[in-house]
Amino acid sequence: MALLGKHPHKPLNSQYILTVAARFFTTQSPNFNTFPDIPTSAYYDDEVNAAGRSRDFDGLRHLLNKRVKDHCLNTNNTFKFITSTDASLSLLDDLCRTLARIDNGFARKSAYDSLIARLCKLQRVDEALRVVEMMAHGNYGLNACSFHPILNVVTRKKRMEDAWGVLDLMRRLGAPPDLTAYNYLLMAYCFSGDLDPTAAVLKRIEEEGMRADTRTYDALVLGSCKAGKVEGLWCC
């Protein structure tokens, strides 16, 4: 107590007190105007991308959790801060570790699926497959839908051997192909008018007990026209 000493009392100017008090409450109080009463997916996309660009991964995790609670689903723009540059792609490991800490269930799976879709939009299939492996090893809800963007890219590029490889990977990772996955291959073969591989895909669909949908039939009509054969390719 003696170290504090005694200092003569000096009254403070009242205007000075008001100024300091105003500054204190201004800096300590949150700005409630920054968060909308009814947030939208577009709003959350902007916030997530801002957090990603500044490498605020804790803030990014909070936003990805909260947007689901606010019924604002992830979109194609959610991970727009990821680009094809080396500097941007170097964030993937930190980003995936952040996604692993998102609330278990739909919020986490949706975030991973959105990241895969973003990487596929950038034509970064190898990186997308890395994310798939992380989902599988972490048991983060990997299913056939997670692979659809990858199949979309490789079949559009006519990389059919890679497409079959993706189907094999799906089985190995416990996410067997669904009809949509097969339809990607079917459409690619039919667009090229390749009847033999088309028949092989149809046989695989039949063997796995799946029923054709409208996309399947659309592909077959296209394939028949390309091959100059109007008879149906589907055998009931």
Q: What is the pLDDT of residues 67-95, one digit of tens each?
A: 999 999 999 999 999 999 999 999 999 99
Residue 16 lies in a domain: no
CA–CA distance, 201 with 191 (Å, rounded to integer): 14
Say whether both 124 and 156 belong to one domain: no
The domain boundary, picked from 86, 108, 142, lies at 142
CA–CA distance, 116 with 14 (Å, rounded to integer): 60
Residue 14 lies in a domain: no
Query: Residue 231: what pLDDT?
Result: 55
Say whether both 138 and 205 belong to one domain: no
165 or 224: which carries more pLDDT confidence? 165
pLDDT interval class at 227 (50, 70, 90): low
Query: Residue 94: what pLDDT?
Result: 96
Query: Residue 220: what pLDDT?
Result: 87
Residue 59 lies in a domain: yes
Number of domains in the chain: 2
pLDDT interval class at 195 (50, 70, 90): confident
The domain boundary, picked from 109, 142, 175, lies at 142
- DSSP per-residue codes, 31-53: -GGGS-SS--HHHHHHHHHHHHH
- DSSP per-residue codes, the chain: -GGG------PPPHHHHHHHHHHHHHHHS--GGGS-SS--HHHHHHHHHHHHHTT-HHHHHHHHHHHHHTT----TTTTTT--SSHHHHTTHHHHHHHHTTSPTTHHHHHHHHHHHHHHHHTT-HHHHHHHHHHHHHHTS---HHHHHHHHHHHHHTT-HHHHHHHHHHHHHTT----HHHHHHHHHHHHHHT-HHHHHHHHHHHHHTT----HHHHHHHHHHHHHHT--S-----
Token couple for 158: 């006519």
Residue 26 lies in a domain: no
CATH assignment at residue 184:
1.25.40
Q: What is the pLDDT of residues 53-72, one digit of tens each?
A: 999 999 999 999 999 999 99
Domain of 181, in residue numbers: 146-236
Q: What is the pLDDT of residues 199-226, one digit of tens each?
A: 999 999 999 999 999 999 998 888 777 7
Say whether both 172 and 231 belong to one domain: yes
Residue 67 lies in a domain: yes
The pTM for the full model equals 0.81
Average pLDDT over residues 117-141: 97
Residue 18 lies in a domain: no
Residue 21 lies in a domain: no
The domain boundary, picked from 142, 174, 205, lies at 142
